[in-house]
Structure 1
Amino acid sequence: MLYSKTDPAEKRRILRERLAATFSTGELLRFPGAFNPLSARLIERKGFEGVYISGAVLSADLGLPDIGLTTLTEVAGRGEQIARMTELPAIIDADTGFGEPMNVARTIQHLENAGLAGTHIEDQINPKRCGHLDGKSVVDENTATKRIRAAADARRDPNFLIMARTDIRATAEGPAGLALAKDRAKALVDAGADAIFPEAMRTLEEFAAVREAVDVPVLANMTEFGKSELFSVQQLADVGVNIVIWPVSMLRIAMGATERALDELNRVGHLRGKLDEMQHRAGLYELVDYEDYNRFDTNVFNFTVEK
């Protein structure tokens, strides 16, 4: 009832332990993207290992493009709403950290306070753009490492996961781009990154090359309609990837279903033919613990007020 029973510090500890274990077990931690607090709870109920909170989803939720228009307050506030509704650890997208190194430091502490288990800071210039679009530009290595160093120095909980995302692969074609990604990943780890998020890798071999280049966990982004092929969990695990995210998938599916339902209303004037595609009322009530709230309310009002 109400919010998660697991303390944020405990969620962070569990995530760190599970990530460390992936190197020996070969397990791949699966983090579907939650587009609201209720979807985070559903991700938990379906047996996944964590929840991802995408910057692109947060922007889209506000009707904005993913070009760095959201603020730290908006991101942390929505992140807190989502993280507190699940027992799972939640990792959130912090774009470029919302400013210079001091801003990055404040971002980390704000996200810690919001109950997140970790975040990633990227090396794009401001204003940034979606990682799977053409024409991206990245900052120089010194600027990128300063962001990560500031993040690592600012955290108060050593288990808060600081991940470095690099978009540098897209700045050069073929082997040259991959070489740049490997070098940047090594520099970011040296600066204090606990994990590496190599954005827009093209092949399994590229993921494997980054995996070989660093001794920290590696994340794969399986976003649809992008630069990466949509590899399976098993394919990614086989090349040593430790975490996989599907950042926008659940939002895309929900919006696609909503669009089809609106078209149906326009076409036939009712949704009787869509009932089997809907979450049933009983399923929604179970997901929000309706019975527990009802029991709680009954226990509170179990007395008679004397007149």
Structure 2
Amino acid sequence: MPSDHVDRWLSPVPPALRRRRLREALAAQGIVVAPGADNGMTARLVEEAGFPAVYMTGSGVANSLTGKPDVGLLTLTETAMMARFLVEATGLPVIFDADDGYGNAINVIRTVREFDAAGASAMQIEDQVSPKRCGSIAGKEVIPAQDMVGKIQAALDARSTGPQEERMLVIARTDARGPHGLDEAIRRGRLYAAAGADMIFPDALLSAEEYARFAAEVPGPKMFNMGGYARARTTPKLPIEDVQAMGYALVIFPLASIRAGVRAQIDFLAGLRNRGTQYEIEHIAALEGHPVENWYDFSGIGTVRALEARYLDPDRIAKRYETGAGYRPVLLPE
């Protein structure tokens, strides 16, 4: 386990530094790609894969925690808990999906403070009627645009103060395309930008042409959701360079890695059910050279061993490992 993992346990990357890095990346020429994560492990994998930011997907967290669809079942408390886990697991800027802010503008004040305290680099709120639902699914309703403006203003006022580059970004999402059409989505996008939102997020537009028009007619930085997780999609899957050329600064892949992981679990469990232990033995053999070949090391027991060596009585720790049976983590040099 690299020494930086030990340092991460002791000195996590400060929220102010993460926010500054995210703002710098968004301001630089290019586009920020942020895959989705539903827990700390996936957030860590996003970082180790070399991405510059991670997106905590509301749908993914709802699906994994409850085993149910994303229809507004999670509370602020549950989502903020997951936010803290993700921030602890990675040094990347973390962008959080805060659904509808969990109430009106007054409720948004607490929501912002909870995510701000968790170390969020950016927080997204949307203009759906509660209970909300996944943006790519029909049947959405939206609140009056002026009510959303109030939520944006409350979020901006409630976030921590300090230098602008160290403040959590407030992303305003509009779901108006489904129930009211593209013109209304553009109108709301312009209104939310005028209200001071740091970024505008048009969710579930229906074509590349619609995304291009929205980008051209709505000022300021914009976010693109590469969502749509059914074969018969309503939202397009576009090359990242095309999204960048349209004028979007951030693109998210909310459920892509999560669905890939669930597929792997389904396939493995089917093999285990059919063939039992021998199937797992063959599965382990096929993992030779893969990062998860030794799950103990992969999940970080080597970091714990290094921390034990630094802070606990060396004779006691040595005796515990010498006299106890089980996997013995390698003591890596400092």
User: Above 0.5 in TM-score?
Assistant: yes
Query: For residues 222-237 of structure 1, what are the structure 2 equivalents within 5 Å?
Result: 222-223=226-227, 224-225=229-230, 226-237=233-244
Residue among 241, 251, 266 paired with 2:248: 241
The answer to whether 1:255 aligns with 2:259 is: no
Residue among 273, 283, 286 paired with 1:274: 283
Query: For residues 142-157 of structure 1, what are the structure 2 equivalents within 5 Å?
Result: 142-157=146-161
Q: Bigger shift: 3-12 or 248-257? A: 3-12
| Cα shift at 1:274 | 3.2
Label 1:267 to 1:109 Cα distance change in 2 as closer, same or farther (>3 A).
same
Q: Distance in 2 between matches of 1:234 and 1:243?
A: 12
C-alpha RMSD over aligned residues: 2.0
Q: Show the counterpart of 2:59.
A: 56
The answer to whether 1:293 aligns with 2:304 is: yes
Question: Scaled by the length of structure 1, what TM-score is found?
Answer: 0.90
- Match of 1:33, SS state, is strand
The answer to whether 1:47 aligns with 2:54 is: no
| Cα shift at 1:291 | 3.3
| Cα shift at 1:277 | 6.3
Query: For residues 93-242 of structure 1, what are the structure 2 equivalents within 5 Å?
Result: 93-157=97-161, 158=164, 159-172=167-180, 177-223=181-227, 224-225=229-230, 226-242=233-249
| Cα shift at 1:11 | 0.4
Q: Show the counterpart of 2:328.
A: none
Label 1:13 to 1:213 Cα distance change in 2 as closer, same or farther (>3 A).
same
- Match of 1:84, SS state, is helix
Consecutive unaligned residues of structure 2, counting only runs of 5 or more, are: 1-5, 317-334
> Contact 1:35–1:250 at 8 Å: present in 2 too?
no
Label 1:140 to 1:46 Cα distance change in 2 as closer, same or farther (>3 A).
same
> Contact 1:79–1:114 at 8 Å: present in 2 too?
yes
- Match of 1:62, SS state, is helix
CA displacement, residues 283-303 of structure 1 (integer Å, 9 cap, x when unaligned):
645554443432231233455
The answer to whether 1:9 aligns with 2:16 is: yes
Label 1:267 to 1:5 Cα distance change in 2 as closer, same or farther (>3 A).
same
> Contact 2:200–2:223 at 8 Å: present in 1 too?
yes
CA displacement, residues 3-61 of structure 1 (integer Å, 9 cap, x when unaligned):
4631011101111122122xxx1x11011011211111111111101000011111112
Letter in 2 for 1:300: Y
Question: Scaled by the length of structure 2, what TM-score is found?
Answer: 0.83
Q: Show the counterpart of 1:37.
A: 40
Q: Distance in 1 between matches of 2:272 and 2:294?
A: 23
> Contact 1:42–1:287 at 8 Å: present in 2 too?
no
| Cα shift at 1:273 | 4.2
> Contact 1:43–1:51 at 8 Å: present in 2 too?
yes
Q: Distance in 2 between matches of 1:111 and 1:185?
A: 23
Label 1:150 to 1:299 Cα distance change in 2 as closer, same or farther (>3 A).
closer
Q: Distance in 1 between matches of 2:95 and 2:35?
A: 10
Q: Show the counterpart of 1:85.
A: 89
Q: Bigger shift: 218-227 or 85-94? A: 218-227
Letter in 2 for 1:297: E
- Match of 1:92, SS state, is strand
Letter in 2 for 1:294: R
Letter in 2 for 1:291: G
| Cα shift at 1:70 | 0.8
CA displacement, residues 101-126 of structure 1 (integer Å, 9 cap, x when unaligned):
11001100110001111111101111
Q: Distance in 2 between matches of 1:297 and 1:107?
A: 37
> Contact 1:59–1:65 at 8 Å: present in 2 too?
yes
Number of residue pairs matched by the alignment = 297
| Cα shift at 1:163 | 0.3
